[in-house]
Homo-oligomer: A and B are copies of this chain.
């Protein structure tokens, strides 16, 4: 292994996927590929019974279609770039693609791009995309008038999924779902799409949950007491040892840093530089020795790596998976 290297523990991944597939079988989960950006991992989720996927970018949709995983792809994001949307329109002969809309501009872009199915994105409390719940019916009518099929509604409670206390998450989610179901009554359609790893078991069976991080996990989600294990780590090599600290060769360019520093297993992290992490090891280390680090936020960490190494319990590399859905 050349370091820094992203490794995925095959056993932990399998247990995470199985735990989720038991809790939310089949279409009750629409795994979000933005969390891993890896079609090989998506294929494992497919094998566990989830045949519909959530995407955040046009490239993710294109990559999933190219990988033969286009049964039912939801682009859960607004796009007004008709050139790129038209590329998706051209894929409809071999994939089912639904895009989120929250305005006349996004409906117009979808219709002009030759797409045929949309979901109305509803703001359920997170100040981001999505129309007001009371405006959802009018947008659905507008979309239908443009010849689009409206499959239902989506609404992401991103301000709730990370709350530490489960009861608080459940209570806040109820408020969000009131908004989403109110919008759904106005819109119609078979789909109510929402949720993430932090609320996967708080949604009832009316919701298809868009969780992604559960597969690999990170230290932020680990604070929520969920039944998912760390499956992704970054392996670094100790390249320098001084009195009281040592340095590993993975830094800011190997970790999404928005949720804070990664965690050094068997050490106390001081700080990350572009290509280095300075830490105090629990036990003496020597140059050349390997250390493992846990990302604080898995999604932006994955996008920094070209490949993931699937490893067994002894650390042997079983497969190398390209992180093939990166970029735009």
Instruction: Name A's B-contacting residues (CB within 8 A).
Output: 2-5, 34, 56-57, 77-81, 83-84, 102-103, 105-106, 123, 127-130, 132, 158, 237, 239-242, 244-245, 247, 249, 252-253, 256-258, 270, 272-276, 278, 286-288, 297, 299-300, 303-306, 327-328
Contacts and interface: CB of A to CB of B under 8 A. Distances in A.
Given A256-B252, A299-B274, A239 B84 contact: no
Contacts of A56: 274-275
Contacts of A3: 81, 328
A253 B77 CA distance: 15
A253 B303 contact: yes
Nearest to A130: B240
CB-based closest 3 A-B pairs: A105-B287, A257-B258, A78-B239
A105 B288 CA distance: 8
21 contacts: A2-B81, A2-B328, A4-B328, A56-B274, A78-B239, A78-B247, A79-B249, A80-B288, A103-B240, A105-B287, A106-B239, A127-B270, A128-B240, A128-B273, A130-B240, A158-B273, A252-B299, A253-B303, A257-B258, A274-B299, A274-B300
A241 B103 CA distance: 8
Given A158-B273, A278-B127, A252 B258 contact: yes
A273 B278 CA distance: 28
A133 to B, nearest CB: 12
A111 to B, nearest CB: 14
